[in-house]
Structure 1
Amino acid sequence: MARSANGQSAQRKSSTRGRSGGNSSRQSQQPRRSRGADDAGVIPVLARAVREVEGAAERGKVGPTNRTKFQVIALLMREERAKAKADTTITDAERAEILKRLDGVATILAKTAARDTSLIQLLAEQTAVTDAARKLRRDMLMASGVELSPDELIIVKDPVAAAPVAERQVVPQSVIARQLSNPFLAPDFSQPVRSKPVTHRLANWELLDPLFRAFEYGSGGNVASMELPEPSAVDRRVPEGLELFHHQAEFVASARDGHRTYLLADEPGLGKTAQALLAAQVTNSYPLLVVVPSVVKMNWAREVERWTPKRSATVIHGSGENLDAFADVVIVNYDVLDRHIGWLRTLGFKGMVVDEAHFIKNRESQRSKYVLDLAKSILTRSPRALMIALTGTPLINTIEDFRAIWQFLGWIDGDKPTSMLMERLEENGLTPADFGFFAEARQTVIDMGIVRRKKIDVASNLPSKRIADMPVELDDEVGRSIREAETALQKRLLERYRRAVSLSRTEHERSDLVRMVAHAELDESKASKTGDNVFTMVRKIGQAKSVLAADYTAQLARSVGKVVFFAKHIDVMDTAEEVLAKRGLKTVSIRGDQTADFRQSQVDAFNNDPEVSVVVASLTAAGVGLNLQAASNVVLAELSWTSAEQTQAIDRVHRIGQSEPVTAWRIIASQTIDAKIAELIDSKAGLAARALDGDDSEVQAEASVQLEALIQLLEDALDEE
C-alpha cells in the first residue's frame, strides 16, 4: 500500500514538472529526492550506512571513517525529516510512512551513540562539518539517485590561508607607516630551526589519542603543573603600590629562565593577566600580540599600563583607524581578526597571548583558524617566541578541548606531535604498549608548559566561596504552562520509548533504550526552531523567574551592598532592570552588543560609584575576564548548561583582591526541570579536576547536561507507570 501511494506521489511530481515548462533553475535549487519505493531514495542508503556504523560500535572500534559516516547520516536524516514535514505534494499517510522509516534510522543511530558516547559530540550544533563529511554526503546522495546541483557536486577545500575574505581585509594607516619605516623584518637567530628528529620506537605509533588518554586516565593523583623555579627579587619587581603573589612570581621566574610555551590554567581569579604581561617583560617579547574576547580588551590595555607602565598598548577597534602600530602590545578581539589577519602576520611579533583560550577549542571554526594561523606564522619566524594560552577552564566538555590549545603552543601539528614534543617522548624510552607510558607521557606534556594552581593552594587568604540555592515557586499561569509543557515532553519521551521497544530486534537494558530515546529527542530539539522542547522550556523558566530573581537581588542590595545579577537571555535582563529601577536602585548593564569603551565604563561605574547597586550582566558577555570584585554576592537568575560557565561567572567576584566571603545565589524553579539541571551541573564538574588537579575519581561519561536532563525526565515517567 505504501509503495503504491509513493508511486502516485512520484507521478504527481512528474506531471508538475511537465507543466512548469522545464524550469531548470528551480530544479537545480530544489533537487528531487526519489521516494518511489522502499529500496530507492535516500532512506535505504542511510539504513545501510547506519548498520555499518552500528556494526563497528558493536565491535568496539568506531574509527574516523565511521565517525564521519555517523555525522553525515545524522545530517541527512535531519534534512529528510524536514523535507517530509514541509512537502505539500504527499499525503499524510505517505508522510507518516517516511517519518516512521526515518525513526527506524534514528533509533539505530541513538543505539550506536549509547554504545560509544563520544559520538554524541558529533551531533552538537557547533560541531564543524569537514571536507570529508561534505564529500561523503555528496556520495551518499548520488548513490540514492538524487540530482545534485553543480555547487553540491564540487567540494571546495577550506584551507586556513584562504579563510579570510579578501574584501574584508584592512591595513590601517599606522601599519603602513610602520612598514615604510622598517620594510624588512630582521631575521630571528635566537634559536636555529630544529630538524625533524630521527625517531625509532615511536615512528609508527599514533600518539595523540594515548596522550589525551594519559590525562583522562593516568593522573595518578598528581596535579598537572610543571615544576617552577623559586623566584628571585628580580622576578618580584613590580610598580610601586602593586604586590605579586608567590605563585605569580614563580611563573615570571620560569619565563626568565628560558621557558617559552605555556598553558597557564590557574583557576579564575589568580591573576593570570599580570603573569602573562610580566613574563613578556622579562623575556622582552615585544611586539606582543594579545587576542582576547571583546568584553575584556579595554581591561587588557589598562593592565598593560598598570603592570608594565614603560610599555605602550594599542587596541584594535573596527578597521583600526586609531591603531598605533608602533606600540609594544597589540590587543585584538576574536571578532575582528578576519579583518586584520593579513597585516598582523607581517608585524614581526615576538610573543602571542590568547586569553580565554577555550574559545578556540573548535579547530574548524574561523576564529580558531585565524588564531592558529597567526601562531604558526609567529613560531615559523621566531621559534623562541613567547606563546601563552590563558584559561581557567581549559576543559569544558571533553579531553579533546586540549587539541587546539596544544596546536597553538606548537606542541602538536594537526594529528601528530611536533618535533619538540616528539623528542621528549622519545627520551622517555617507552611506547604506548609499555607499562607506565601514560604517567610518563602525561608528565612530558605537563613539562612542556602546563601550569595549574588552585585558589585553595596558592591564595589561602582568599575568602571562602559558596553556592546557595534559592528555590522559588512558579504558581502563576506561566508556572502552570511550564509544568504542562514538561508533562507533554515526558509523554512524548514515553511514546518514543515504547516505539523504540517495539522496533528493537534484540533485548536491551532499559537504561540503553532510555538513553537512545533521550538522544533522539535532543537531536530533534536542536534541529527545531519551534514547539516545546528542553531548550524552549528552560528559556520560559528563565522568563518566569526573572521578576522573583530581581526582587531577591533588590533585597540583597539593600542589606549587603553591591550585587552582580547574571542571566542568559536579553528579555530576562530587561525585566530585571525594570524591576530594580522600580525598587529605586541604580543599575549598570554589561551585554554582548556594547562597544568596548562603553562596557568598560559600566564596569568602572559598578566598581567605583557608590550609587550603583547592581550590575545586570550577560553570562556569555560578562562571564569571562572581568573584575567585579566590588561585590561579594552574585545572583544567577538563569542556569548555565555547564559547570565551567557557572564557575567563570562566580569568579568575576571571587578573585585576588576580594576581602569578603563570596556567595552565589542560584534561583531555582522548584518542581521543574530547572532543579534537575542544577543537580546535573554540580555533578559534571569532574573532567578538569581529573585531568588537571589529580582527582582520580571514576570518569563520567561525556554526555551533555541537556541529554542527562531528558534521561531523568523519562526515567521519572517510567517509574510513575
Structure 2
Amino acid sequence: MFESFVIQLDEKGRLSFAHQNISHLNAKEFDAGLDETDYKLIKWMDEMQQEAVIKKYNPKKLKPKEFLRKIYDSKSGNKPVQELLETRLENLRAKILENLGGKRLFEMGNDGNPIWREIHIMPEKATVLFHFRKNEDNTHYFPTIKYGGEKLEWQYKNAYLICHEPAWLVVNSCLYSFTKGVDGKKLQPFLNKKFIVIPQKVEKEYYKKFVTQLVASFDVYAVGFDIKVEHSQPKPLLVLTELPSQSKTDLFGNPLEENVEDQMVFDLQFQYGDYTFRAENRIENNVELEERGDQYVFHKVVRDLSREKFYANYLQNLRLEISNGKIALAKSKAFGWISSYKENLEDIGVKIIQQTSSKGKKYFIGHAAISVEIKENIDWFDVHAVIRFGPYEISFQKIRKLLLQGKSEFELPNGELAVIPNSWFVNYSEMFAFMEEQESEENALVLKKHHIALAQELQSNNLLQLTLSRKLEKLKDFSQIDDYAMPVSFHGTLRPYQKAGYNWLRFLAEYKFGGCLADDMGLGKTVQTLALLAHEKEQFPESTSLLVMPTSLIYNWELEARKFTPNLRILVYTGGQRIKESAQFANYDLVLTSYGITRLDLDVLKDFRFNYVILDESQAIKNPGSIIAKAVNELNCRQRLILTGTPVENGTMDLWSQMNFINRGLLGNQNTFKRQFLLPIEKMNDKDKAAKLHAMIKPFILRRLKSQVATELPEKVINVKYSTMTEAQEKAYEQVKGYYREKIVSELGVPGIKNQQFTLLRGLTQLRQMANHPKLTDKDYTSDSGKLEDITHMIKATVSEGHKVLVFSQFVRHLAIVKEFLQEEKIQYAYLDGATKDRQGQVKAFQENPDIKLFLISLKAGGVGLNLTRAEYVFLLDPWWNPAVEAQAIDRAHRIGQENKVIIYKFITRNTVEEKIMALQERKMALAGELISTEESFVKSLSKEDIEALLE
C-alpha cells in the first residue's frame, strides 16, 4: 500500500519525526512544495485506501473491516470480488510507481514511522535474461538480472516485489523496474531459489506452453536446444476465399439479407521466410516450436509491424477497407477491385493467392477491360465495344445480356470463372439497358439519339469515346445554340430569354427531339410556343398541330393565338356540338382541345397524323398508369412538346411519364426506370444516380426561373387569365342575369325612376359575384366554380415554385372561399381585411417568414399604407370598375424597395359581365382620356346601349 505524508524539516534541513498524513482534501495547505505530479500521486494513493477501494463493491455500506473480513473469509469468501480488488490495487500501484521518478520513497516502520527506511528509485530499467539448461534427465530454468551492464545479486537478499504487472523489485533498499514489461510472477519463485527443475516427463508440454511464450517476449539463453531468430522483410499476401453461398451470416457473424450476392473474403497475411502470419495478430515476435526426435528448435520470427502497417494503410488508400485483417465484398465488387488495382498491387509487391473453393472453382484474377466507342449516325448512334479478360476477347452482346439479367459470372475458354466488375454495372448499366439491336446488321447495337446526354456524361468520365457532329455537340451547352430567324407571320416581339427559348425549340425540331418547356409561370411559355407554331406553318404549310390542355385554358390559348399568330387557322375542338371526324383537321393549322376530349375522342384524334402534339400543363399525365397518359401516348405525330411550370409534383415517376411522352425510351421502360433511378434516388438517396438522371434529361428540359431572367423582364408584366364557368355556375349565372335584364331594361324606358342606377349597380354587383363563385350570393350553392379551379391551380403552382403572392379581391366572402381551400391544403398564409386588428403583424409575417407565401387582402383594407416588397406575383381575383384602384393594389407590391419583377394575373370569367366591363372600360377610357373614379360615376357614364350590352 502507498500513503502520502508531509514531514517537517529540522533546523539543519533534515527530516524530523514530526509528520502528517495528507490527502487530496488538505494537500492545498502545503501547496508551496507540491507540483502537478504530486497532486496526481496523492489522488491515486487516496484511491488505495480501504473506503475508496471497496466502495464500488459494498452496496450495503458495511464498515471496511467488516466487509473485507466477509470477502476474504476462508470458507465463504467471494473469490471474484477478491480478484477485482487485487486488480484495482495492482493498477493503482503500477500508475503510482511509473510516476514516482524524482520523488522520495520510504518503507514504513512497524511503529508507524513513515520514514523508517528510504528506498532509492533506480532511474534506468534493468534487463532480465532467462536461462534454460537442458540435460538428459531434466531442464533447469532461472533468470539473471543486469543493471547498468552489471549483474545484480538479488537472490537470497530479502528482495521483494511491490508490483507484479509490471514487475517492480526492491533489493538492498533500491527499487528496480524492467525493460519489456517483465511479469513479476516470473521472478517471484527465484527470490529464495537458484533455479527450477522441469522433469523430462512434462518437458514437452512445458516447452510448448511456457517456453515458446517466453522466447517470443523476452531474452532467452539456452543450452541443450536451439533458438533460431529470423529477421526479414514481410511479403504481403491477399488470400482470396469464396464465402459459401449457403452461409446465413457474413464473415463477422452479421446476418445477411436474402438474395444477397455471393461474397469473396480478402484475408491480409504476411510471409516471413517459411512462416506466414495473419495481419490481425499483431505480435512483435512469433515463435514456432519444432521437434526433432528428443531435440527442440525454437524458430523466432521478428516481425516488422511498422512495415505491415504500411501495407495495410496502402490497401486502405486503394479503398479496400480491411478491418481486423479481413474484409468480405460482394463478388462483382471484389473482382472489380482486383481488376482496377492489379497493377498497383504488383508495383508494391502484394500477391493475390486464391484458395480453391470446395466445389473446385477457380476464378480469373487478371485484368478486365472494357472500351466503348459511340459514333453519330443519321438517326441513331452506333455502339462498338471491346471487352477483354486477360488474353480473351468476349462478345459484347454476351456481357450485355448478363448485365441486364443481373448476372455477373461466366466461364472463360480456359475453364476459369470470370466475374464482371461491379463498376461496369455502375457505369454502363443505363447505356446497356437503353441500347437496341439493329435488325439490318448482324450483331449491331445502336443507341437512340435522344440518349446523347448519357453518352456525353460517360465521355466526360472517360468511360467511352464519342464522335459527334459540331452542331449536335452544341446541345451540351444551351448558350451555343444557333440563333434562328423569327417567322414573318409572328406578330409581336419576344424578350431575349423568350427568343433563346424559341431557338432551343427550333434546334430540338431540327433533330426530331421532343422537349419540355418548363419556365416559371408568367414567363411566356405560350408566346414561345406560338412562335414555333408560326414557323411550322411557314415550313410545313399543309401540316396540322394539336394542342391539348385543361379546359379552362382553351379560351386563353385561342385569344393569344389570334393576337400573335393571326394567320393560323384555328379549330377549337370542344363542346357537345363538335364534329367527330378526323378529316376536318387537315383544314386547320392548329387544333385546340382538352385532356377530357382527348380521352373521349381518342379514336378520332389518333386517326390523324399531326405535325406537333403539344401538352400544356403536362403534369396532367404525371401518372403513367392513368387513362389520359395512355391516351396521349397513342396520338400519331411527327414531333412532341410539353409545357409545364412543375414537371415534378409528387415523385420521380412524374418525370418518367412526361419524358417518355416527348422522347419514348429516353429513360427506359417503367421497370427499368424504377430499378435504375427511382428506387436508388427515393429509397437510398443515391446522389450519383440523381446526377446521372439530371444529365440525361437536361438537354430536353428548358427551365428558367423568374429570378434568372429578371433583368429581361419589364417592371410589371400584366396577364389576363380567362376562366370558363362550370355547367352549374353558368346555369346559376344565367338565372340571375335573366332576372335583372328584364327588370333593368324595362325600367330604362320609364322616365323619372330614381332607383334605376341603384338597381343596375346591385344587379351588376351580383353578377360579378356569380362570376367569381355563386356561393357569394347563394349560401345553398354546393357545386363548383371555374374561376376558383384556376385560382387554386395557380396558387399551388406559384407556391410550389417558392414565389410570394398577393391575392386581392373586392369581396371578403370570395377571400373566405380561398382561405377554406388553403386550410384544407395546409398552406400557410397572411390575411388582411377591414376587421383585421394587427395589420402590421400580418405584413411582417408575409415579409419575413419564408414559409408564408400568400397574402390574402381585401381591396378596401389593402388599398393604402402597405409596403409588400417581397411579393413577386399579384393575383387580382375580380376586375374593378376603377382601373386606378386596381393600379393602387398592384403598387402594394410594385413600389420603392421592390427588388423583384412583379407579374400580375387578372382573373376574368368568360361570357360574363366581367369580360364586358373590361371591354367597356378600355373603350370609355380611350374616349374620355381620363380615369373613372367610382362605381357610381362609371354607372352614370353608361348609355342605354352599354347597359343592354352588359346584360346581353
Normalised to the residue count of structure 1, the TM-score between the two structures is: 0.36
Q: Which has the higher contact order (CA 8 A, sep 6+)?
A: 1
* Larger helix fraction of residues: 1
* Larger strand fraction of residues: 2
Normalised to the residue count of structure 2, the TM-score between the two structures is: 0.28
If you compute each CA radius of gyration, which structure gives the higher value, 1 or 2?
2
